[in-house]
Amino acid sequence: MTDKKVYPVQPDIAKNALVTAEQYEHMYRQSVENPNEFWGEHGKRIDWIKPFTKVKNSTYDYNNLSIKWFEDGVLNASANCLDRHLADRGDQTAIIFEGDDPSVSRNVTYRELHEEVCKFANVLKEQGVKKGDVVTIYMPMIVETAVAMLACARIGAIHSVVFGGFSPEAVAARIVNGKSRFVVTADEGLRGGRAIPLKKNVDAALKHESEANVDCVIVVKRTGNDQVPWTEGRDVCYEDLMAHASAECDPEPMNAEDPLFMLYTSGSTGAPKGVLHTTGGYMVYASMTHQYVFDYHDGDVYWCTADFGWVTGHSYILYGPLANGAITLLFEGVPNYPDSSRMGQVVDKHKVNILYTAPTAIRALMAEGASCMDGTTRDSLRVLGSVGEPINPEAWEWYHRVIGNSKCPIVDTWWQTETGGILIAPLPGAVDLKPGSATRPFFGVQPALVDNEGNLLEGATEGNLVILDSWPGQMRTIFGDHERFIQTYFSTYKGMYFTGDGARRDEDGDYWITGRVDDVLNVSGHRLGTAEVESALVAHDKVAEAAVVGYPHEIKGQGIYVYVTLIQGVEPSDELKKELVQWVRKEIGPIASPDVIQWAPGLPKTRSGKIMRRILRKIAANEHDQLGDTSTLADPSVVDELIGSRASN
Ligand code: WT7
């Protein structure tokens, strides 16, 4: 059994760790027994313009659900990431930028970043952005993206970052849903030596979507491609505006519960939802988890390989590290460009001490063989982190042995866009590691397992993962749809936050996340709703019906398996498969590309018409022998037909 394999806390790590095993136990107990005292104390880790007098005001009581933290405190997130460091570490590097091109890198100090952010904050104001406005940021991984996010925070605008890999349609939907009148983008992005047409995509998004009401598009020059089209009166040039902007901009005093940002994520039904995070609790939680989970010490070089387009980029490239005065590495490129030694090269070049990446990246390197680390020593590494999906023990061992030279603890961090920060992870100086287990809850987090009826399960067992009480970093609402927020997270099991994940708890009380129990896919650590992909497919005029499920995929963790029923009279063909793949890429983005399309003359449905995905998942995984009960199907013969045609697919 893999759970028998334990990597005990390393004495060398424990010796200098911020939290030891005894301290963890003590602090954890205090955090759940007396949250007001615990968070009242740790809430002081950030700077408040007006200190809070109230700490926790939250209840999961279904009929009067309320989540508030530090509610009478006033602060500014950008001041916490910048201004407060100027006196002590103004000339210290805040961001190490490592370009897509390995010969390009530069360091930005806290003072320089502060100046840029103040200037851009003034630019935003000049363009008419006001406190509470939503600014859409569709950018590559460059310093200006951090500047744009922090500048929004500085003036109290809500940023909505849209991943640069999303299609114009996806950008448009997010602009419309957020009622966003401002967009910040770049002429082009650069990834793996290829240009990404960001501005062109914004143009297409705004043209395509008549409901989009955008007054102003601010365009950063990244590649300088002068073919990028320009709409006079709407498009403005970042560099021109920055050239005459003042570097003085007082941070806007924000209430702890004022919104800081929103970020769209996929659910099991409907369109992606705008997860809204507020200022005070989020900043306390992001900075505290960043410091303790990665055992961050002053001067450490920290590299999180995520993209700003995901929550990991928000909490653990930007807000957490900068609030802690850390040195955070910002990487524009991809791990296999110019070749698969890039990750090791970047670690050596910048003497990275803490590396935080995703299982899918590790598996992709693993597939190259250990030679992808040739020519690099990675001696500087001290702590490794994993996030995004369950890490399989083989990938864990490889990460530990090959990348970390068998000397770095791996913190497997379980959390979600909704949670704002890490909820379950081993603190490197305190908790023994088990490959594949996220182990123990962070301070203030009370995980539990319930059966499908919501009964709490005790001891070593498996069930649905819920959290019993609020923590400061939790999302507060779905932008524009509070009812959906309550429905999605608090109605399945009354009085509890439902994560959508399943988990197992072992004899030691350690948690092992088993994956989503709802209709959400996790493809290369990216979340996708099956319903989203299905609705993209049925929007194609040759498709009558579609059902999407995940199946085990060697590198991606989960691949996308699509069953398509064509309109009567349309002939299936390989060309049509290609067309449908392109179609989905265009509707959502390349991350949603179907891996397998199977033609399905019929889909297995219950008599009430509900598609039985459980059966489709088994067929996709080639586990036809474990179909379970099919007697409730309206037409059981559909199943045999699908199994038969799968073989010839
Ligand atoms: C879902 C959340 C949190 C930032 C990245 C993804 C899965 C995430 C782990 C982990 C097992 C994990 C869960 C979760 N997940 N980290 N360490 N072990 N599963 O954020 O896009 O909101 O996705 O990712 O299924 O619910 P997200």
512 and 530 together in one domain: no
Q: Is residue 619 part of a domain?
A: yes
Within a domain: 455: yes
pLDDT at 2 over 60: no
User: Do 165 and 134 form a contact (C-beta atoms < 8 A)?
Assistant: no
The reply to whether 489 and 542 lie within a common domain is: no
Is there a contact between 113 and 82 (Cβ–Cβ < 8 Å)? yes
pLDDT in tens, 104-154: 999 999 999 999 999 999 999 999 999 999 999 999 999 999 999 999 999
Last residue of a domain, one of 516, 550, 567: 516
C-alpha to C-alpha distance for 518 and 369, rounded to whole angstroms? 34
Q: Is the pLDDT of residue 631 over 90?
A: no
Q: What is the pLDDT of residues 524-582, one digit of tens each?
A: 999 999 999 999 999 999 999 999 999 999 999 999 999 999 999 999 999 999 999 99
Verify that 475 and 599 share a domain, yes or no.
no
DSSP summary character for residue 157: P
Under a CB-based contact definition with an 8 Å cutoff, are residues 291 and 18 in contact? yes
- The answer, yes or no, to whether residue 268 has pLDDT greater than 90, is no
* Phi, psi for 200 (deg, rounded to 5): -60, -40
Q: Say if residue 373 is in the same domain as residue 480.
A: yes
| Range from 303-307, 441-445, 644-648 carrying the lowest mean pLDDT | 644-648
Atom of ligand 1 nearest to the CA of 422: 3
Per-residue pLDDT band for 649 (boundaries 50, 70, 90) equals: low
Q: Whose CA is nearest to atom 7 of ligand 1?
A: 389
| Residues 6+ away with beta carbon under 8 Å from 409 | 7, 9, 10, 13, 383, 384, 426, 428, 433
Residue of 387, 440, 558 best suited for mutating to test ligand 1, as the one with most atoms within 8 Å of CB: 387
Question: Are residue 351 and residue 403 in the same domain, yes or no?
Answer: yes
For 504-520, write each residue's pLDDT tens digit.
999 999 999 999 999 99
Q: Average pLDDT for residues 380-386, to the nearest whole number?
A: 98
Q: Residue 529 sits in which domain range?
A: 524-645
Residue nearest to atom 5 of ligand 1 (CA): 388
Contacts of 471 (CB under 8 A, 6+ apart): 281, 285, 419, 423, 442, 444, 445
> Distance between CA 168 and CA 588 in Å, rounded?
8
Classify residue 631 as exposed, middle or buried by CB count within 10 Å of its CB (0-12, 13-18, 19+). exposed
* Together in a domain, 496 and 582: no
101 lies in some domain: no
**Residue 647: predicted pLDDT:** 65
Nearest CA to ligand 1 atom 14: 416
559 and 592 within one domain: yes
Number of domain units in the chain = 2
Question: Whose CA is closest to atom 12 on ligand 1?
Answer: 389
pLDDT tens digit sequence for 407-439: 999 999 999 999 999 999 999 999 999 999 999
Please give the distance, rounded to the nearest whole angstrom, from the Cα atom of residue 416 to the centre of ligand 1: 5
483 and 551 belong to one structural domain: no
The CATH number for 354's domain is: 3.40.50.12780
Q: Do 455 and 488 belong to one domain?
A: yes
Residue at which a domain ends, from 485, 516, 547: 516
Q: Is 279 in the pocket of ligand 1 (CB under 6 A)?
A: no
What are the tens digits of pLDDT across the range 319-366? 999 999 999 999 999 999 999 999 999 999 999 999 999 999 999 999
Q: Which amino acid, 348?
A: D
Question: Which residues line the annotated binding site?
Answer: 191-194, 312, 336, 388-390, 412-417, 501, 516, 524, 527, 538, 540, 543, 585
Task: Identify the CA nearest to 136 among candidates 198, 73, 82.
Answer: 198
User: In this predicted model, what pLDDT tens digit does every residue of 245-260 receive, in sequence order?
Assistant: 999 999 999 999 999 9
Give the tokens for residue 329.
């590495």
What is the CATH number for 632?
3.30.300.30
Has residue 611 been placed in a domain? yes
Determine the length of the chain. Answer: 649
pLDDT band at 648, cuts 50/70/90? low
**pTM of structure:** 0.96
Structure tokens given for 320? 């957490």
SS3 527: strand
Same domain, 357 and 498: yes
Is residue 165 in a domain? no
Q: Does 530 sit in the ligand 1 pocket, CB within 6 Å? A: no
Q: For residue 342, which of 375, 309, 313 has the smallest C-alpha distance? A: 375
Q: Is 315 in the pocket of ligand 1 (CB under 6 A)?
A: no
Q: CA 544, CA 442: separation in Å to the nearest integer? A: 47
The best mutation among 265, 316, 356, 389 to test binding of ligand 1, ranked by most ligand atoms within 8 Å of the C-beta, falls on 389
Does 290 lie in the same domain as 342?
Answer: yes
Contacts of residues 603-606 at CB distance under 8 Å and 24 or more positions apart, as own/partner, are: 603/545, 603/547, 603/563, 603/565, 603/638, 604/630, 604/633, 604/635, 604/636, 604/638, 604/639, 604/642, 605/633, 605/634, 605/635, 605/638, 606/632, 606/633, 606/634
Residues 286 and 391 in one domain: yes
- Stretch 45-73: mean pLDDT, rounded? 97
- Of 484, 516, 548, the domain-final residue: 516
Percent of the chain with pLDDT strictly greater than 90: 93
d(CA 456, CA 430) in angstroms, rounded, equals: 27
In the reported structure, the alpha carbon of residue 415 is separated from the centroid of ligand 1 by a whole-number distance in angstroms of 5
DSSP per-residue letters across 211-224: T----EEEEE-SS-
| ipTM exceeding 0.90, yes/no | yes
Does residue 377 lie within any of the structural domains?
yes
In-domain check, residue 267:
no
On whether residue 537 sits in a domain, the answer given is: yes
